A and B are shown apart, each in its own frame.
Chain A
Amino acid sequence: MSLERPDTTDDAAIERTPDELEALLGDLVVARDDHLNAPGFVIRPDTVQETLRTLKQQAGYDHLSVVSAQEYENRYESIYHLKKYDDPTQEVSVVVPADKDDPVSETAEPVFRTADWHEREAYDLIGVEYEGHPDLRRILLPETWQGHPLSMDYDKDRPQIATLPEHANPLEDHHRDEESDTMFLNIGPHHPATHGVLHLKTVLDGEQVIDVEPDIGYLHRSEEQMAQSGTYRHQIMPYPDRWDYISAGLLNEWAYARAAEDLADIEVPEYAQVIRTMGAEMCRIAAHMLALATFALDINGDFTATFMYAINDRERVQNLLEDLTGQRLMFNYFRLGGVVWDLPEDREAFFSNTRDFLDQLPESVEEYHNLITSNEIFQMRTIDTGILPPEVAKNYGATGPVARGSGVDYDLRRDDPYGYYDELDWDVATEDGCDNFSRLLVRMREVEESAKIIEQCVDLLEDWPEDERNIQANVPRTLRPDDDAEIYRAVEGAKGELGIYIRSDGTDEPARFKIRSPCFSNLQTLPEMANGEYIPDVIAALGSLDVVLGEVDR
C-alpha cells in the first residue's frame, strides 16, 4: 500500500474552476459530463489511476467518497466521486465508461486504498471488472451467486439457492502455515463483539493477530434496488431508517432528503430545517450513547454498569424522538420539502422535557468520564491501541468520529453546510490520539456539541411566530426530475459521511440510487488498526469504529 502525500501541498487548497481542472488533466479528459454537484470528466477506462493520481496529488482531491457504478443501454459506467478533506464543497466526478460487452476498467486501488471495497461492490452488484484490482471477489453476495443483481439483464424472478462454500476448515492447508504455527480463527458471524452479523477471518499467532479480514454482506438487503423501485415522493423515505438502524434514522433520512431535494430543486422552509436539525442531533446523541455503551461492553465485560447507564440516557432521548416523530426506531419523519408534522402538542411540555434532558446530560457525561475515560485500566486498554494515522484514514475514506479521532478535521455539518447548522454556534470535536480512546472521546464530546445544537434549536422553535410555522414546502405530488440529471449529496450521519448518488431518467423513480455508507469505508480500516495487536485490541478497535452492519451491508 502506498501513501503518497500531495507533492505540492499549496496547490491543494486552491479552488480550481472546472475548466482549470480540465486543463490540468489535459488529454486524459475525453468529454465533459457535469453532475449537479460537481464537474464530471469522462476518461478512458485505462487512465483511471493516472487521472485520479493527478487530481489527488496536484489538485488536492484527497477523498474518494464513493465509487458508483451502473449499466446503461450502451455501456457500463463507474463514477469516482472525489472531494477534498479540507473543503468538501470542492467536488469532482471522474466518469469512466466501460465497454458493454466486456466491461473492464482500470482499478483505482493503488491511488485510493478505499477503492478496494467500493470496486468489489461495483463488481458484485453491477458487473464491472476492475483490471489490476488486488482481490476482485464478490463482497456483499455469496461467492456462488449467479449474475449481478443491478445489471440490466438480471432476472430478478429466477430463484437462487446460494450454496455457501464449504465451511472454512482451519485444518485445510491454506489456513495453516506449517512454518509459522499460526491459527486461523473465525470471529463471527455470531460473536458477542461483532455488534451484528459480521465475520472476521482472523489469523492468530498465539494471542496476537497477524491478519484480519472483515467478511461482510450477511445483512445485505439490496436497499439500493429497493430505492430504485420506489417513487421519489413517498416510497423511498422509509428505507433510510433501516440502514443505520441504531436510532440514527433521521440522519439517514436527511441524506436522502438532501440529495432528492437538490435534484428536484426543492426549497425547505426554515422552520422545518430547524426541526430537522434538532431531530437529527437527538438521533446523533442516541447513536453515540449506544456506541459508548457497547464500547464499554467490549472493554469492561458483560456486567458493566456503564452499558446500562448509557442505554438509560439513550432511552431518554429516544422518548423525545418518540414524542416528535411517533416512532422509536423507524421514524419516517422527513418528507421531501419538510417534515411530516409539526412538533407535538402540547409544545410547552415537549420543550420542557427536552430541556430536562439537556440539563441532566452534562451530569451523565461527567459520570461516563468518571466511570470509563478516567479509569486507569480503561486508559491502559484503549490509549495507543488501534492506531489509525490520519493519512491512512484519509486513504481509506474514513469519515465521522473515526476520522476526527485521527485528527482529520472533517465534518460536513460545518464544511458543507445544510439544514440550520451554519446559523448555530457549535464546534467540531477532533482528537489527535488516532487511537481507540480518541475515537471514544470524540463521540463523547460530540454528544455535548449536539446538546448545544438542540438547545439553540429549542430556543428558536419556542419563539417561532405561530403563523410562520411552515413545515412543508409545496412539492408536486409526483416528482419527475430532469432526464439524466445526476447528483451526489452527503450529510454527516452518526458514523460519518452518508451520501446518496441519484441518477434520474425522467420517470418518478430513480434510475440509479447509490448509498455511500460511512460504516462501509470505516470498517475497511480495521486491518490497518488490528494487525499486530492482541485479540482484545481487535475487539476494542472494532467497537471504536462503531459500525452498524445494516449500513455496511445495506
Chain B
Amino acid sequence: MGTAPAQLFPEFIVDTLGLDSVIGEVAASLVAAFVVGNIILAFTGVAGPWAKRKITAAFTDRIAVDRIGPYGLLIIPAAAVQLLAKELIVPEGVDRPSWDIAPILLPASALLGFSVIPMGQIGPINLHLADPEVGFALVFAFASIASVSLVMAGYASSNKYSLLGGLRAVAQNLAYEIPLIVTAMSAVIFAGTLQMSGIVGAQTETLVTIGGVAIPSWYAFVNPFAFVLFLTANLAEIGRNPFDIPEAPTEIVGGYQTEYSTAYFVLFYLGEFVHIFLGGAILAVTFLGGASGPGPESIGFIWFVVKIWGFFLFTQWARAAIPRVRIDQLIEIGWKGMLVLSFANLVLTAVIVGVIA
C-alpha cells in the first residue's frame, strides 16, 4: 500500500466549513457531488460540440469549426442553444413514459459511476466522493444500467430501426460486459481489494527502476495483456468503432436514438460522452494508476484528466480508422474470443499471484 488516501471530498467540505450536523453532511455531499458532476459535464460539453469535431477533422485533413470565437470554441454555447431551441418531436405511438426516461437514464447511469472514482487531488481537495469497500463492483453495476436505457429507448420508440438498435445494444453488452468485468477482476486479484483507493494505492509501488527512473507498478505494465483486453472490451462497452453497431448510422440509421431530437438527443449524446469518460476513468483507475503521475500528489487530478482525455482521443482515433464489425462477428468475438481470453487471463493472474505472493 502507498500513502494513506487523503480525505474524501465531502468530508473535506464538512471539516473546512465546520458543518458537523447531519444536515451539514448531507449538504456537503450534495455540493461535492454537484462539483464533480459539473466537472464531468463540462468535459462532455467541450468534447461533444468542439473537441470531437476538431479531433475528427485532424484525422481527416480538415479544419472543422473555427469561425465562432477563438479556435471555434464558442460553438459550444451556440450548439447548446441550437439543440435546445428546436422542437421536440414526439412520434406517434411511442411508449411513454419509458420513451422519456431512457434519455435521462443513460447520462444518469454514467454520472453515478463517477461517485466512486478517485479523480485525484487538486491542491488540498481530493476529488473522490465515496470510497465504499465494494466500489469497484459498484462502478460496473452503474455502468451497465446504460444497457437498460438503450433497450428502453429502442423498444419505446416504436420504430423498427430503433428496435434493431436496442436489440443490438443488448447483444453487444452481454457479449462484452462479462469479459470486461472478468478482465478487471485480475486487477482485483493483484490489489487484493475491491476498494477503489486500495486498487489505486497498490499501483503506486515501484515496479522496476530503469536508469534512475522509477516505473510504477501500474497494472498496464504489470499485465499488458489484460490491459489490451480491457481496452478492447471497453470500446464495445461504450459503443465506439469497431463496435458502434447499436447506432451504425449507415445501416440502421441511428439505432435506438433514431426517433430522438433536440433535448433528448442532447441527453443521449451527453450520456454517450459521459460513458466514454467513465470508461476512461475505469481504465485509468484499474490499469493506469488512477491519478498518479510525476510531480506532487496535489496535481494528481491533472494526470487523471490527461488519462481520460487520452482515452477519449483513442476512441476518436478508432472511429476515424477502423471499420465496424458485423453483429454476428461481434458476438463471435465476444463469446468465443474475449471471454475465453479473459478467463485465461484471470486464471493465469490468480496462479501467478498465488505462487509469488
Contact = CB atoms under 8 A, between A and B. Distances in A.
Check if A and B associate: yes
A196 B102 CA distance: 32
B320 A304 contact: yes
A377 B332 CA distance: 13
Interface string A299-321: 11111110111001000000000
B253 A534 contact: no
B328 A534 contact: yes
Contacts of A534: 326-328
B59 A191 contact: no
Given A300-B241, A303-B320, A539 B326 contact: no
Interface stretch (B10-18, B244-252, B289-297): B244-252
B31 interface: no
Given A192-B253, A377-B242, A372 B323 contact: yes
Contact of A539 (B60, B251, B320): B251
A298 interface: yes
A380 B325 CA distance: 8
B326 A537 contact: yes
B329 interface: yes
Contacts of B250: 192-193, 297-298, 301-302, 539
A417 interface: no
Nearest to A308: B60
A264 interface: no
Interface string B312-338: 000010011111111111000000000
B253 A301 contact: no
A211 to B, nearest CB: 15
A32 interface: no
A380 B251 contact: no
Contacts of A303: 56, 60, 241, 316, 319-320
A539 B161 CA distance: 14
Interface string A402-421: 00000000000000000000
A76 B320 CA distance: 56
Contacts of A537: 326
A358 B193 CA distance: 62
Interface in A360-375: 371-372, 375
Contacts of A372: 323
Listed residue (A183, A193, A296) with the most chain B CB atoms within 10 angstroms of its CB: A193
Given A377-B242, A535-B252, A371 B321 contact: yes
Given A185-B160, A192-B250, A297-B250, A377 B322 contact: yes
B253 A536 contact: no
B251 A536 contact: yes
Nearest to B242: A377
Given A371-B321, A535-B251, A207 B241 contact: no
Contacts of A298: 250
A305 B322 CA distance: 9
A510 to B, nearest CB: 40
A539 B327 CA distance: 13
Contacts of B251: 193, 535-536, 539
Identify whether the interface residues of A are mostly helix, strand, loop, or mixed: helix
Contacts of B145: none
Nearest to B56: A303
B60 A299 contact: no
Listed residue (B59, B251, B252, B324) with the most chain A CB atoms within 10 angstroms of its CB: B251
Interface in A374-403: 375, 377-378, 380-381
Nearest to B163: A183
Listed residue (B60, B244, B253) with the most chain A CB atoms within 10 angstroms of its CB: B60
B62 interface: yes
B92 interface: no
Interface size class of A (residues with CB under 8 A): 20 to 34
B87 interface: no
B164 interface: yes
Given A183-B160, A304-B320, A305-B59, A536 B249 contact: no
Contacts of A378: 323
B321 A381 contact: no
B325 A307 contact: no
B72 to A, nearest CB: 18
A290 to B, nearest CB: 15
A539 B319 CA distance: 19
A301 B255 CA distance: 13
Contacts of A375: 322-323
Contacts of B160: 170, 183, 185
A274 to B, nearest CB: 34
Interface string A164-184: 000000100000000000010
Contacts of B322: 300, 375, 377
Interface in B234-269: 241-242, 244-245, 248-253
Nearest to B62: A308
A380 B329 contact: yes
Nearest to B244: A301
Nearest to A298: B250
B325 A377 contact: yes
A183 B160 CA distance: 9
Nearest to A302: B249
A537 B325 CA distance: 11
A300 B326 contact: no
Contacts of B241: 300-301, 303
B319 A301 contact: yes
Contacts of B61: 305, 308-309, 312
Contacts of A539: 250-251
Contact of B321 (A170, A192, A305, A308): A305
Contacts of A193: 250-251
Contacts of A305: 59-61, 320-321
Contacts of B323: 296, 299-301, 304, 372, 375, 377-378, 381
23 contacts: A192-B253, A193-B250, A296-B323, A298-B250, A300-B324, A301-B248, A301-B323, A302-B249, A303-B316, A305-B59, A307-B60, A308-B61, A312-B61, A372-B323, A375-B322, A377-B242, A377-B323, A380-B329, A381-B326, A535-B252, A536-B248, A536-B324, A536-B326
Interface of B: 56, 59-62, 160-161, 164, 168, 241-242, 244-245, 248-253, 316, 319-329
Closest 6 CB pairs of A and B: A308-B60, A303-B319, A305-B320, A193-B250, A300-B323, A378-B323
Given A301-B248, A302-B249, A303-B319, 6 more contacts: A301-B323, A303-B56, A305-B61, A536-B251, A536-B324, A536-B327
